[in-house]
Copies of this chain bind each other. A is one copy, B any other.
Amino acid sequence: MTTKPQPWILTASCPSRLGTVDVVTRFLAETRNYVLEIQSFDDRALDRFCIRVEFRPERDGFSADDFNEAFAERAAEFDMSWELTAPDHRPRVAILVSKYDHCLNDLLYRYRTGQLNIEIPVIISNHPDLESLAQWHGIPYYHLPITADTKPQQEAEVWKLINQYEAELVVLARYMQVLSPDLCSKLDGWAINIHHSLLPGFKGAKPYHQAWEKGVKLVGATAHYVNNDLDEGPIITQGIQSVNHVHYPEDLIEKGQDIERVTLSKAIRYHIEKRVFLHGQRTVVFAD
């Protein structure tokens, strides 16, 4: 749909120190890479620096390996971790769902049209319901039922599939299961969940019912990284929706779906465009 030239993206992060920007930008200039856009932030609360650069090579024969090798030396001095992302890189995203399909349907649409520049190698569910939707898009669908007793085995299988399909990102698109601490740890920082409330408000089960009980006039959704603290993972983005007295809990569930899917897909886009930096409980998000 678009002829927009996709850039290379360099992201880097390190402890705060004089010269953190310069070590990045000087290297880019010396290696004749043309900078299109920079966003950097030095967090005084955490003494942590991060930077995101979009650039295009000015000379032929740009090699990511050469870039990484040459930059390693300079980065080491600053204890800097970095990542170089190619314009044609399409990250592999494994999706977990249950029965609700509004988020899945939305992600598949954006995947199919290229609006989300990802591969979806596998969809995993504890229910069989959404298989035909997956099939229409030509994506393998695994139905792994779960009970209290079989949870460890089921999660082991989920984990095996995530690895087998070489997922770089895991998305819980309304997967209605509480992950075990073990699986949470494994997914820490590279799995995104969508929760249907403005976290930390209305944590846990049935947030729309909780919202209705309290008589709130706004409901929302929160996309966050999974970590060991249930519904308390670092927030990537949040969206809201006005509601009023005519909306009973079942209406909130329905009205919330639009904001859930928009919020989840935005978080995924931020993640794959390398706009999100994770610093403890907090995120730096260089939004566009």
Contact = CB atoms under 8 A, between A and B. Distances in A.
A214 B198 contact: no
Contacts of A218: 198, 220, 238, 240
Interface string A239-269: 0100011111011011001100010000000
A1 B101 CA distance: 12
A217 B201 contact: no
Interface residues of A, number: 72
A3 interface: yes
A157 interface: no
Interface in A78-133: 101-102, 105, 109, 113, 115
Contacts of A162: none
A32 interface: yes
A68 interface: no
Given A42-B35, A201-B200, A18 B29 contact: yes
Nearest to A243: B288
B40 A38 contact: yes
B285 A18 contact: no
Interface stretch (A139-147, A179-187, A276-284): A276-284
B18 A34 contact: yes
Contacts of A238: 216-218
Which of A26, A215, A247 has most B Cβ within 10 Å? A215
A125 B102 CA distance: 26
A287 interface: yes
Contacts of A28: 21-22
A195 to B, nearest CB: 12
A20 interface: yes
Given A22-B28, A22-B29, A40-B37, A4 B251 contact: yes
Interface of A: 1-4, 18-22, 25-26, 28-29, 32, 34-45, 51, 58, 101-102, 105, 109, 113, 115, 136, 198-202, 213-218, 220, 234-238, 240, 244-248, 250-251, 253-254, 257-258, 262, 281-285, 287-288
